[in-house]
A and B are shown apart, each in its own frame.
Chain A
Amino acid sequence: MNANFTEAELAQRRTASRRMAWLIGAVVLAIYIIGFFFKRG
């Protein structure tokens, strides 16, 4: 039952989370900026 995350694995998962968070943040910014170039036909 107790297959603990080791401290190392936990740290690695947190790093992965941070990297992913920055990526999503960049996508958000991109959508925001692309929006300004929209024109209705």
Chain B
Amino acid sequence: MSVATTTVPGHAGEHHGEHHPAGILRWLTTTNHKDIGTMYLTFALTMFFVGGAMILAVRAELWQPGLQLMKPEFFNQLIGIHALVMIFAALMPAATGFANWQIPLMIGAPDMALPRVNNWGFWLLPPAAILLTLPFTLALFGIGDGALATGWTFYAPLSVQGGLGVDFAIFAVHILGVSSILGSINIIVTIFNMRAPGMTMMKLPLFAWGWLITAFLLIATIPVLAGAVTMLLTDRHFGTHFFDAAGGGDPILFQHLFWFFGHPEVYILLLPVWGLMPHVLATFSRKPIYGYKAQVYGFIGIGVLSVIVWAHHFFTVGMPVPALIYFMFSTMAISLPLAVLFFCWIATMWKGAMSFETPMLFATGFIVLFGIAGLTGLVLADVAADAQYHHSYFVVAHFHYALFAGGIMGVMTGVYYWLPKWTGHMYDEKLGKWHFWLTVVSFNLTFIPQFFLGLAGMPRRIPDYALQFTEFNMISTVAAFILGLSQLLFAYNIWKCVKGGPKASDKVWEGAEGLEWQLPSPPPYHSWETQPVVK
């Protein structure tokens, strides 16, 4: 994606980062928000395929009962690293890539406020990804026993018992955390200080609002995760007993700390997407966004609620009845601000003049499938029924509706929506539609059977299963491979669009509104040399 770097002659010399070096050095030293955004997105796409390959190996093992391809130890490593890679190295960097590219364009700023911090934020990621996956390779040479095998949740005391893969994962999480914090700080200060004259907070594009809340959630929760894994590290190597009952500690403390981060993390992944949706829906409905203020308050409401509901991730540990009831009702309360968002999305479409280009297809697909995630989340909040759903495939299906249909399909919406702006070329519409339909159908065929598996009693994270679960697992595996292979169309379409294609106009979409569409496609190397005024 190196096309999007046109410089405007005569302007390039006036600001920082002027005569950028060529080749690899340019990318290593760049402080340009577009270059960094491009690197984030490329990294995210690469890791999306790495994480996907891991889970396809898992699905292949689950094709039928018995152990065919791998040992249970290796299976456990794959599921945990799949989750960490997808969350921290695919979805989060993709969202940060969007923020880097779009926020300065959308708020009329020349660049991010802290360009050098921005560079660091990105270049911490590749080493972290290497740390996370290196133990797989080391094990091939007989060093250690492979990667983190506890699932992505690191639960003590299993993680205290684990091999060097746990230490690698702890350091990887620390580095990823620092990267997220740097990115968040930059986004917050950019939004607060660099808005164009006349753009008040209540005129801020919703995408920027969604990211602002995400950034605050990251600031509040990443240090807690970092603290929890540091305590784990000292438990492992320096004889502290934070999580060891024999030394006066408590294994459940770890779960509280982890999910104090882990639940907001879900909204960290989703808020940027929720911010993006109204823009796309308004564009393709050729109608203004419905309920702007309601959506802003909805974001804030969800942000606040997200940090007070964490214990619903472990109802089965045995909590006092009042705690169970509190966490159940506070979790159910999230459905209200979320319903505000759904209401506004549908009301934005209502009585518009809709057309269904690929971004709109993904956006509507997102609304329906994310609806399933929300509704199943509502029943999961019920403690009594949760006893049956918890730790089963029902939960696996639920959070893939939230994070694949909600998160990843949301990111795909954004990519198709903004790619013409970034590259100056239109993507291949026909290929995009094929990608959408293949993704939606195979996604549902992969995960609907998992709802039924969970209800029938199949626990998650098992490499082998009882005979009664065979048919549904087979369907799920076949569909997962179709889902995985369809994503190659996505990568190919992006590649094709970067290389060339029909010229995109400045506005790109007939119904597009907002500052970013006033710039040429692709935008100049330094966006908004001249500040626009927002009325």
Binding site for B on A (CB under 8 A): 1-5, 10, 13-14, 16-18, 20-21, 24-25, 27-29, 31-33, 35-36, 38-40
Number of interface residues of B (CB under 8 A): 34
Q: Is B530 on the interface with A (CB-CB < 8 A)?
A: yes
Distance between Cα atoms of A5 and B195 in the complex (Å)? 10
Chain B nearest Cβ from A2, distance in angstroms? 5
- Of all chain A residues, the one with the shortest Cβ separation from B528 is A5
Q: Is the Cβ of A21 less than 8 Å from the Cβ of B224?
A: no
Residue contacts A-B, CB under 8 angstroms, 10 given: A2-B531, A10-B110, A14-B193, A16-B193, A18-B114, A21-B114, A28-B222, A31-B227, A35-B227, A35-B231
Contact of A2 among B110, B190, B224, B530 (CB under 8 A): B530
Contact of A17 among B114, B252, B253, B533 (CB under 8 A): B114
In terms of DSSP, what is the predominant structure of the interface of chain A?
helix
Q: Is the Cβ of B114 less than 8 Å from the Cβ of A31?
A: no
With A5-B110, A20-B192, A31-B224 already in contact, 14 other A-B pairs whose C-beta atoms are closer than 8 Å: A2-B531, A4-B530, A14-B193, A17-B192, A17-B194, A18-B113, A20-B189, A21-B113, A25-B181, A27-B219, A28-B219, A31-B223, A32-B227, A35-B228
Q: Is the Cβ of B224 less than 8 Å from the Cβ of A40?
A: no
- Of all chain A residues, the one with the shortest Cβ separation from B253 is A40
Q: Is the Cβ of B532 less than 8 Å from the Cβ of A1?
A: yes
Residues of A within 8 A of B224 (CB): 31-32, 35
Distance between Cα atoms of A17 and B230 in the complex (Å)? 30
Chain B 83-119, CB within 8 Å of chain A: the 1/0 string? 0000000000000000000000000001001100100
Q: Is B220 on the interface with A (CB-CB < 8 A)?
A: yes
Chain B 163-200, CB within 8 Å of chain A: the 1/0 string? 00000000000000000010011101110111001000
Q: Is the Cβ of B227 less than 8 Å from the Cβ of A36?
A: yes
Q: Is B226 on the interface with A (CB-CB < 8 A)?
A: yes
Q: Is the Cβ of A21 less than 8 Å from the Cβ of B189?
A: yes
Residues of B within 8 A of A39 (CB): 253
Distance between Cα atoms of A31 and B222 in the complex (Å)? 9
Q: Is B54 on the interface with A (CB-CB < 8 A)?
A: no
Distance between Cα atoms of A17 and B117 in the complex (Å)? 12
Residues of A within 8 A of B222 (CB): 28
Residues of A within 8 A of B186 (CB): 21
Q: Is B507 on the interface with A (CB-CB < 8 A)?
A: no
Distance between Cα atoms of A17 and B185 in the complex (Å)? 9
Instruction: Report if A17-B193 is in contact (Cβ < 8 Å); known contacts: A5-B531, A28-B222, A32-B223.
Output: yes
Distance between Cα atoms of A36 and B197 in the complex (Å)? 44
Residues of A within 8 A of B230 (CB): 36
Binding site for A on B (CB under 8 A): 110, 113-114, 117, 181, 184-186, 188-190, 192-194, 197, 219-220, 222-224, 226-228, 230-231, 250, 252-253, 256-257, 530-533
Instruction: Report if A3-B533 is in contact (Cβ < 8 Å); known contacts: A24-B219, A31-B224.
Output: yes
Instruction: Report if A25-B223 is in contact (Cβ < 8 Å); known contacts: A10-B110, A18-B114, A40-B256.
Output: no
Q: Is the Cβ of B223 less than 8 Å from the Cβ of A28?
A: yes
Residues of B within 8 A of A24 (CB): 184-185, 188-189, 219
Distance between Cα atoms of A33 and B230 in the complex (Å)? 11
Q: Is the Cβ of B228 less than 8 Å from the Cβ of A4?
A: no
Distance between Cα atoms of A2 and B528 in the complex (Å)? 10
Instruction: Report if A3-B223 is in contact (Cβ < 8 Å); known contacts: A18-B114, A21-B189, A40-B252.
Output: no
Distance between Cα atoms of A15 and B252 in the complex (Å)? 44
Chain A nearest Cβ from B246, distance in angstroms? 16
Residues of A within 8 A of B181 (CB): 25, 28
Instruction: Report if A21-B257 is in contact (Cβ < 8 Å); known contacts: A10-B110, A27-B219, A31-B220.
Output: no
Distance between Cα atoms of A20 and B224 in the complex (Å)? 21
Chain A nearest Cβ from B226, distance in angstroms? 6
Residues of A within 8 A of B231 (CB): 35-36
- Of all chain A residues, the one with the shortest Cβ separation from B188 is A24
Residues of A within 8 A of B197 (CB): 3, 5
Distance between Cα atoms of A18 and B497 in the complex (Å)? 37
Chain B nearest Cβ from A5, distance in angstroms? 5
Chain B nearest Cβ from A6, distance in angstroms? 10
Chain A nearest Cβ from B104, distance in angstroms? 13
Q: Is the Cβ of B193 less than 8 Å from the Cβ of A21?
A: no
Distance between Cα atoms of A23 and B436 in the complex (Å)? 44
Residues of B within 8 A of A18 (CB): 113-114, 189
Q: Is the Cβ of B227 less than 8 Å from the Cβ of A13?
A: no
Residues of A within 8 A of B190 (CB): 17
Residues of A within 8 A of B189 (CB): 16-18, 20-21, 24
Q: Is the Cβ of A20 less than 8 Å from the Cβ of B223?
A: no
Q: Is the Cβ of B228 less than 8 Å from the Cβ of A3?
A: no
Chain B nearest Cβ from A4, distance in angstroms? 5
Residues of A within 8 A of B256 (CB): 40
Q: Is the Cβ of A17 less than 8 Å from the Cβ of B223?
A: no
Instruction: Report if A32-B226 is in contact (Cβ < 8 Å); known contacts: A3-B531, A17-B189, A40-B250.
Output: yes
Top 10 A-B pairs ranked by shortest CB distance? A35-B227, A17-B113, A32-B223, A17-B189, A31-B223, A13-B193, A17-B193, A21-B185, A20-B189, A40-B253
